[in-house]
Amino acid sequence: MKKEYDFSKGKRGRVIPPELGKSRITIRLDNEILDWFREKANQQGGGNYQTMINQALKEYIHQDKPIQEILRQVIREELKNVA
């Protein structure tokens, strides 16, 4: 390791440009939600839990069912898994 480095030609800001069609935001989510997505990513052998959250949101906005119907379906599936 050198004693000193020359940063005179260095640039501030992002090193990697952002992906087209994506925006960086700050969002607050419950720990329970984050833990669930992180655990799912780990179960699948790693990966990006943020991508999984994004995919879940996409699926939600592109479906035609009302939220009540989706919740009923999820509850039925979970009850099958418990029994």
Contact 24, 18 (CB under 8 A): yes
Instruction: In whole angstroms, give the CA distance from residue 31 to residue 58.
Output: 21
Q: Coil, strand, or helix at residue 4?
A: coil
Task: For residue range 18-49, list pLDDT tens digits in order.
Answer: 789 988 889 999 999 999 999 999 999 988 99
pLDDT tens-digit readout, 72-83: 988 998 898 876
Structure tokens that stand for 20 in this block: 């087209």
13 versus 35: which is more confidently predicted? 35
Residue 47 is classified by DSSP as -
* Residue keyed to tokens 């790693």: 46
Within 10 Å of residue 34's Cβ, how many Cβ atoms?
Answer: 13
Domain boundaries, the chain: 31-82
For 12, the token pair is 């501030």
The backbone region for 35, taken as left when phi is positive above 0, alpha when psi lies in -120 to 50, beta otherwise, is alpha
